[in-house]
Structure 1
Amino acid sequence: MKFSIDRNALFDVLQKVINVVPQRSTISITQTILIQATNAGVDLVATDLEITMAAHVNAQIEEPGSAAVVGRMLYEIIRELPESTLHFEVEPENRLILRTDFGNYKIAGDNPANFPKRPEFEKQFEISLKNDVLRRLIEKTVFACSTDELRPALTGVYFEFEEGYIRTVATDGHRLSMMKYNEPNIQEALGNVIISTRALNLLLRNLNPESTTIMEIGQNHVVFRLDSTLIFARLIDEAYVDYHRVIPPEIHYEMIADTDQLMASIKRVSLFANPITLQIIMRIYRDYMEIFAQDIDYGGEAQERIPCEFTGDEFVVGFNSRYLQEVLRHVDSSQVRMQFVRPDYAVLVRPVDPPENEEQLMLLMPVRLDQV
């Protein structure tokens, strides 16, 4: 293998694939990056056996071939080099030689034949989505995923591909977030899958807002095809929870407030909340609400009043302030709608003016009140 390549072009793709290379692994080959030089250019491939990422870059190929080199070392030396043309070739013992205007470097490697092959993939269906739509479907839900590995289904985002729409759902048991995007090109129910948060966060870092991504769904894997990048990820093979059961069938009270004003007030008041429970109390009246927090151990407390519109006379409810702030942070409209059944029942949070073709619903469990 022998080729020449622009340093900046190479570093751009290295920044993508290095995120897949594990910091530590008992399987040493997964800490390498596979370099494949063909007449079409150079492909860089990295895998941790759950996710595989391949990125293409143009180069001047003198001799096609492949090499598997220590990923972190390759990334770090390219990062430190200034803009120039880089020249690569492979020694017989799998070491990669890098020649530059500043010096020569030899990077340890492994036999590229040992690099893990991608599992066989049989596509069941595919869908093409604009990247701005795909980004919103993910960003508006992935924050609510669980980190509890004992509940693997909840550590990913649930994708529903139904006739006329796509819905994404995530929950950790304390909060739930759903996004529905109307997609007329889906003319029949295609299926449902759970995609890991790690794969989705990796995808988010590589979405070009002006482009489109093709999602290919198989029985055990999903493939994201971007402009010059491919992400291949194992699906979470678990049954998802019946999230419909936790959505209240009827609403008794509704409150509308300015999103930014409510968020700012909660941020200030929560500074005085108990650092363990993070509890704040909302006393809601017809045309205003009081937000209260107290830390009995240190004697601090705070109370603010902000305007709102409420359909009842008085309603008192408590929240974990961190969870409530995270939910409000994902409301894009200037006003937020909060819907209640009773103080100990799930609260629905929606934007008052959602974007066209979208339906967003978030659910937050209140906390038991220490003080009313």
Structure 2
Amino acid sequence: MKFVVSSSELLSHLQAISRAISSKSQYPVLDCFLIDLSGTTLSMTASDLEVTMTTTMETESTDGDGKVALPSKMLLEILKKLPEQPLTFEIALDNLAVDIVSEKGKYNFVGQPAEDYPTLPVVEEDKASKLQVPASLLLTGITKTLFATADDELRPVMNGILFEFSPENLTFVASDSHKLVRYQRLDAKSDFEASFILPKKPAALLKNVLPREAGDVMVEFDNKNAFFNLPNYKLVCRLVEGNYPSYNAVIPQENPNKAVIDRVDLANTLGRVSIFSSQSSNLVKLHLSNDEMVVSAQDIDFSVSAFEKLKCQYDGDELEIGFKSVFLSDILENISSGDIIIEMSDPSRAAIVLPFEKNENEEELMLLMPMMINA
């Protein structure tokens, strides 16, 4: 088995799928890439049993078909330190001896049997749903929500992104019980109603490779697994089992106090003032009245405090509400609008953050739970 590939192109493909490999794999073969040559097409796979990612590329010249598992760390380290050049891989399938021949040298090592590599799960056709989603839309939905997922061992359903398909829209939801994001696309609809929870790791892998892709992604899923077929990549992952909490029930409907403010100004002010917040609570206060917002923080233990005034459009009663500054910063970084609307009812109930400039075909809502302000 022999093939010739571009070193930089091979590195690009392997780096994209290498994130699927676990640093604590149960089996030695899972520290490897599965290399499969068929004709002139080279297929490469990485897996941790929960998530499997495959990519393909065309080789320049080949001799013979075959499969072998190659150590990922060694291969990546070689490729990272090589300048762009053609590399010749010569693999003896009887004893798995591998020779990589470059312009100035040769590297040899031993691979592992391809038969030891786990087989990919297949979709259960009788239980499967499928639809095509534009790559750019899928990327936006994941990017908007991934930051709000939880790390909660007791409630694994919170550790992923909820995908909800309906004839009206496609909805992405994530929450860590402190903040919640609901992102809806009205231009992505399905003929059926269904949902699944995509774990955080495969969501991050998709976020990494989707910018490289154009066109549509075929999304298939059954009760256990989801399959994302991209033009140059395929990702298969086990879904989170369980039912996602009823997120619409926690979104307050009556919010009479509304502020419109410049998002970047608020984010920059928050960055400066939060330096003076208590290290234990990270609390910042927003005081709203007469078209003005005062952002303040203090750390009594170290006798430091700060406040800044910001102009805003405010319609409502005078109000002071507290937030964990890290969470508020996360929301401000991930909402795409020059100005934002902050809707509140009272200091003990969740605040809603909305984009002031709305894009057609998308609805974006972010929710943030307040912190108690000690008198």
Q: Give the TM bin, normalised by the shorter chain.
A: over 0.9
In structure 2, what is the equivalent of residue 259 of structure 1?
A: 263
Any idea what the Cα deviations from partners look like across 1:308-351, whole Å, max 9, x if unmatched?
Answer: 12222310100000100111112211111111111100111100
Q: Give the AA of the match of 2:117.
A: F
In structure 2, what is the equivalent of residue 293 of structure 1?
A: 297
Give SS of 1:160's match. Answer: strand
Of residues 103, 106, 130, the one that matches 1:104 is 106
In 2, Cα distance between equivalents of 1:95 and 1:315: 72
Alignment of 1:270-289 (within 5 A): 270-289=274-293
In structure 2, what is the equivalent of residue 199 of structure 1?
A: 202
Of residues 311, 314, 320, the one that matches 1:310 is 314
In structure 2, what is the equivalent of residue 58 of structure 1?
A: 58
Deviation at 1:189, TM superposition (A): 2.9
TM-score of the pair, normalised by structure 1: 0.96
Q: Give the AA of the match of 1:118.
A: L
Structure 2 unmatched runs, 5+ = none
In structure 2, what is the equivalent of residue 5 of structure 1?
A: 5
Structure 1 unmatched runs, 5+ = none
Deviation at 1:103, TM superposition (A): 1.5
Deviation at 1:292, TM superposition (A): 0.8
Report if the CA contact (8 A) 2:257-2:317 is conserved. Answer: no
Any idea what the Cα deviations from partners look like across 1:281-330, whole Å, max 9, x if unmatched?
Answer: 11100210111100111111001111112222310100000100111112
In 2, Cα distance between equivalents of 1:209 and 1:296: 51
Give SS of 1:5's match. Answer: strand
Matched, 1:167 2:171: yes
Any idea what the Cα deviations from partners look like across 1:126-178, whole Å, max 9, x if unmatched?
Answer: 22222221111111111110011221000000000011210000001111001
In 1, Cα distance between equivalents of 2:23 and 2:105: 27
In 2, Cα distance between equivalents of 1:129 and 1:117: 26
In 1, Cα distance between equivalents of 2:89 and 2:140: 40
Deviation at 1:95, TM superposition (A): 2.8
Deviation at 1:238, TM superposition (A): 1.3
In 1, Cα distance between equivalents of 2:189 and 2:298: 52
Matched, 1:27 2:21: no
Identity, % of aligned positions: 29
Matched, 1:117 2:119: yes
Any idea what the Cα deviations from partners look like across 1:21-67, whole Å, max 9, x if unmatched?
Answer: 22232311111111001114110111100111111011122111111
In 1, Cα distance between equivalents of 2:154 and 2:262: 38
Deviation at 1:185, TM superposition (A): 4.6
Any idea what the Cα deviations from partners look like across 1:97-124, whole Å, max 9, x if unmatched?
Answer: 2122222112332111111001232251
In 2, Cα distance between equivalents of 1:257 and 1:321: 17
Alignment of 1:73-152 (within 5 A): 73-91=74-92, 92-123=94-125, 124-152=128-156
In 1, Cα distance between equivalents of 2:203 and 2:188: 24
Moved more, 246-255 or 235-244: 246-255
Report if the CA contact (8 A) 1:286-1:313 is conserved. Answer: no
Give SS of 2:89's match. Answer: strand
Deviation at 1:224, TM superposition (A): 1.1
Matched, 1:354 2:358: yes
Q: Give the AA of the match of 2:149.
A: C
Report how many residues are paired: 370
Deviation at 1:259, TM superposition (A): 1.1
Q: Give the AA of the match of 2:83.
A: P
Give SS of 2:301's match. Answer: coil
TM-score of the pair, normalised by structure 2: 0.95
Q: Give the AA of the match of 2:181.
A: S
Q: Give the AA of the match of 1:8.
A: S
Assess, with a 3 A threshold, how the Cα gap between structure 1 residues 47 and 184 changes in structure 2: closer, same or farther: closer
Deviation at 1:252, TM superposition (A): 2.3
In 2, Cα distance between equivalents of 1:226 and 1:262: 38
In structure 2, what is the equivalent of residue 325 of structure 1?
A: 329
Deviation at 1:77, TM superposition (A): 0.9
Q: Give the AA of the match of 1:230.
A: K
Matched, 1:219 2:223: yes
In 2, Cα distance between equivalents of 1:236 and 1:119: 16
Report if the CA contact (8 A) 2:166-2:189 is conserved. Answer: no
Assess, with a 3 A threshold, how the Cα gap between structure 1 residues 138 and 184 changes in structure 2: closer, same or farther: closer
Assess, with a 3 A threshold, how the Cα gap between structure 1 residues 163 and 223 changes in structure 2: closer, same or farther: same
In 2, Cα distance between equivalents of 1:90 and 1:209: 31
